[in-house]
Amino acid sequence: MTRPLKSHGISTEKDPRTHRLRYRVKAKGPAASQADRIKRGHELLQDAVHSNPGRFVPAAQVLLDFFARETNQTKIGPQDEDRAYTLMERFISHLLFYREYDKVAGILWPKTLFTAEPYSVSEVWRHVAEHQQAFIVGPGGVGKSYSLAAWLLIDWMADPEWTHVKLLSVTKAHAEKNIFAHVKNLHAASAFPIPGEVLANSIRVGSRQNSGFQLTTIPQGDSGAGRLRGCHPDPRPKPHPKFGTHSRIRIALDEAELIGDGAYIDIGNLLLTEGSDADHMKIIAATNPKDQSTPFGRCCEPPFGWKDISPEGSHCWKGQNGVQVLRLDGAKTENVRQKKLVYPGFMTYEGYQRYIERGANDSEAWTMARGFWPPSGTVGGYILPTDQFDKAETTADFIFTGTPIEIGAVDTALEGGDDCVFGHGRFGWAWGVQMPDGRKIKFPKHIPCLQAIQATVLPKGDAVSMGKAIKAAAEGCNILPENLILDITGNGSGPYAWLRHYWTEGEIVDIKGIDSGTSASDMPIFQEDSQIASERFKGMHSELCFSGAAWLQFGYLKMKKGFPVAEIRREATSRQYLTQGKLRVVEKKETFKARLRCNSPDRWDMLCLMVQRARQIDMGTMQISMTRPEQVKAEPKDWFKGSRGEDPSDAGVEFIDLN
């Protein structure tokens, strides 16, 4: 790698102590002055690159002037762009070979676009370079995703045809706004051409299939198992002088707390044959730390438990199974420490203070300012933040295959100011959803979905009159008794008992009752979750609320036009929860009403009961009265297409792949 540069008069050597690249310069004097000269040379090189976009002669001349043993040995003519380009290419390759990534970044991008100088960026780069399993937690506004995108792109440039970078994210929309978007933007904005063809979900170079960048999404509720199958280093036809006989693999998990257990199991399997070689296989995961009980959180737990680390003194530690954890603290960033804007685009002192002023009992202050998991007993925030509710596009109509099940849910209230709310929904396998503007979105696969149809306030009375009113409402919606669920906490047990005994004369019917004061169940929120509800939530009430929030947030629950969406939004996005150890506890109704001086969140509670009934059906606690689409043998392979390849119910509509 050094021979081509020597032909231009540039000589370098590897420092035996630091293993970093060292230039040999003619300048006489103490080492410090030579280091200053080299630093100044790099500054002028960066200025020449970024002040002359598309031209390489000025930058190449800086190379010769500052890094040649004899400054007058070689000159490049003003029109000799090809030679200048070749020299710049070789110089960048030389830097990449010796992993001088910060210097490469300075050549590729102006400081206004990217700089490796801030504390958080330099720590991320150091941590990722040193460890095979580099897990990173930190607050918002410290550049976790952006720093990783820049490092991954430069690292890939060192050997693009034999490096495969796999980016995992919870949704395609999320990934396209975060780490993969950063990669594409940095690729396009480089002052020096970066190899690769940028496509919608990948960056490709050469003919090898397992090379370049690849975006992979793992929707919430999907364990992620199998997404990393085949991600092993391949043998090279000819050994690389630095990377040896095999290709390189980089796997990056963005918003890693939201990614299911299956992906982490796959990672463990991949590492079984790789040893501790960080060159050929590297796992990188980053997130804002919220929940120690997630698969990511469990990987970050120290060998002897969480008691071994503290938010004040712990910034690097060893996790489980070889994981190395870096924690970024907002209090250590330059903008916060100096109380002024040192690096634009990063967390400001004022922004940090707004979180800290919430107090030590606020989980968002720990997560988004200190970059640490909220201690037990802190207010964990809201079960469904307003921005997440709004992004979920909650008003839409699922397109079911076959006949969905009619289900009903009742949040009972016999007295006081609370409402008795009856809800009607449909649960079944859906292949798509129709949005209010008429767009039809086709799912990648059929998924179990819940359509909330209507919510009705029933007149309150004694147990008998309430039971009769509920029975009449259910029968009016063609809801069978076994598909009805009631909140039987307190006075709700009266109507529940009447319905079981008197729905059908002479027999006891199977109506589902939920006591929100009991323990959380042994069901997962989604079918492929690795953890059951009792491992995540304290009490059935907390399980109900978080299940409803998750189904709504990730698109398994939609509300039909006319459903009280505004009330649902207010009640869902105002509900707070606490953390108790590894468990989450939703505030009680009484606390909610007293804190906001408002009525009980009856409509939201009814909707959560409806989700609970759908979960029970989906989890197999009762026989499903429909067949999965892929099990229907009588229908053709493209069963959902009409004669022109369109859906028979609405021919001519363009379908969008929701991945």
Domains of the chain: 3-98 (no CATH), 119-349 (3.40.50.300), 387-618 (3.30.420.240)
Q: What is the CB neighbour count within 10 angstroms for residue 446?
A: 17
Q: Could you give the count of Cα atoms lying within 13 Å of 654 in the half-sphere of its Cβ?
A: 2
Q: What is the CB neighbour count within 10 angstroms for residue 557?
A: 26
The residue type of 232 is: H
Q: What is the pLDDT of residue 62?
A: 79
The residues near 541 (Cβ < 8 Å, ≥ 6 apart) are 516, 517, 586, 588
Q: What is the pLDDT of residue 277?
A: 67
State the DSSP string of 214-244.
Answer: EEEE--TT---TTTTTT--PPEEEEEETTTE
Closest CA to 463 of 504, 517, 412, 423: 412
Q: Are 458 and 422 in contact (CB under 8 A)?
A: yes
C-alpha 50/C-alpha 61 separation (Å) is 14
3-state helix, strand, coil in the chain (%, to 5): 35, 20, 40
Q: What is the pLDDT of residue 275?
A: 66
Q: What is the pLDDT of residue 43?
A: 79
Q: What is the pLDDT of residue 564?
A: 93
Taking only the tens place, the pLDDT of each residue in 215-260 is 887 765 565 666 777 788 889 999 998 899 999 999 999 889 888 8
User: Strand 420-434 relative to strand 440-458: parallel, antiparallel, unpaired?
Assistant: antiparallel
Q: What is the pLDDT of residue 173?
A: 58
User: Strand 316-318 relative to strand 324-327: parallel, antiparallel, unpaired?
Assistant: antiparallel
487 φ/ψ angles, rounded to the nearest 5 degrees:
-80, 115
Q: Could you give the count of Cα atoms lying within 13 Å of 650 in the half-sphere of its Cβ?
A: 12
Kindly tell me the sign of the dihedral angle through the C-alpha atoms of 476, 478, 479, 482.
positive
State the DSSP string of 200-220.
Answer: SSEEE-SS-SS-EEEEEE--T
Q: How far is the first Cα of the chain from the last one, in angstroms, to the nearest whole number? A: 43
Residues of the chain with pLDDT under 70: 1-35, 37-38, 66-75, 78, 171-177, 219-226, 274-278, 376-377, 379, 414-416, 618-659
Q: Are 144 and 137 in contact (CB under 8 A)?
A: no
Residue carrying structure tokens 């002023």: 357
DSSP 630: G
Q: In DSSP terms, which residues pair with 580 in a beta bridge?
A: 583
Q: What is the pLDDT of residue 37?
A: 66
The C-alpha angle with vertex 160 and arms to 157 and 165, in degrees rounded to 5, equals 95
Q: What is the pLDDT of residue 186?
A: 96
